[in-house]
Structure 1
Amino acid sequence: MTGRSNILLIGFMGVGKGALARELVRQEPSYYALDTDDMIESLTNTKIKKIFATAGEKAFRALEQKTADWLARNVTHAVISTGGGFYMVEGLQKIGTVVYLKADFDWIYRRITEAPNAKKKLKKRPLFQDVEKARALFKSRYEAYEKVADIVLDVTKKDTQSLARSLLKKLG
């Protein structure tokens, strides 16, 4: 693995990074799961949506960088799920092995909108409020995710348990 013993899950919002992180920890209990958005909300005592609304995206990206720097210095043996734009932070590889969860936009959109708690999932994602803007954002990030990844894992139509097994096998 590159960097530290962490597994860093990146990909577009709604692709299933948090679900895979929880499943990886279930299958490999020596790891623990962290979520960068949860960490930022804890740090600021403010919801992500409110940070975007009041301080703007630039301020949020600065909080992501602060979180990335802290993770690189202080965390080992964790599965870290990230926000959709976290791949842009500097020093990503210093945190751990970067795993890109790849899927097409329409699959991700269906995954979110057809979930039992779809309203909550959509409300939590401020950049997904306008579907066409989200689609354009997806297209602009698609290649960049692959460029920073150590491992690319196609998650389209695959269950979380088998994805976790496959990833743990790839990681050795």
Structure 2
Amino acid sequence: MRLTMKQVHEAVLPTVLELKFFNFEPIIFCLFALFAIYVLYQYIQYQIRKLDVYSFLFHRKKGGNTHIYNIESCPICLGEFKVPVRASCGHAFCMKCLLSYFQYNSYCWKCICPLCRGLIRDIYNLHIFDFCKKEKAEIKKMEKKLKTFIEKQNYSIAHLSRLEWICTNKWKSIFSAFSIIICFITILFWPKTSSF
């Protein structure tokens, strides 16, 4: 039995029309919603990083919260300040107390303020005292230890931000590949009503 061109055309045409007028709106809506969520997530991450930088710069320029410096005792040892230092968040501590706090919490790679739990990116001396040579050497040694703790943390933060950047770019490629796969699957496996 030989088919005429008209019969072939009638058999193939409904299938082509189904694909042409297939309703892609739900799939497009889902993909658009996923993309919108991804963009919103990236925007929120950007705003958080921007706020963190602004708060750090504000504390550095303004000297942090000035009401904190009226306190004459260290919040860790509750005694008088011995070699006081100010953290980047604005809180003041004894240098020895802060160093022992960091050493006690060495399981955590972050240098976190004991009061506000903010990241400590740098320390500043509050007062300059006249110490003897032995005490000055001890103070310099403690300063060096504190700076190494903070440098390790800053290195870890830089490494994590690099990983975040890599993951973000990988997410973009995975997202685009995923959307292409979804489109192909829907085209291939969509139920067809006409038969040959």
- Fold-level similarity (TM above 0.5): no
Higher helix share: 2
If the TM-score is normalised by the length of the shorter chain, which range does it land in?
Answer: under 0.3
Specify which structure has the higher proportion of strand: 1
| TM-score (norm: length of structure 1) | 0.21
Q: TM-score, normalised by structure 2?
A: 0.20
User: Relative contact order, CA 8 A, sep 6+: which one is greater?
Assistant: 1
Larger-gyration structure (1/2) = 2
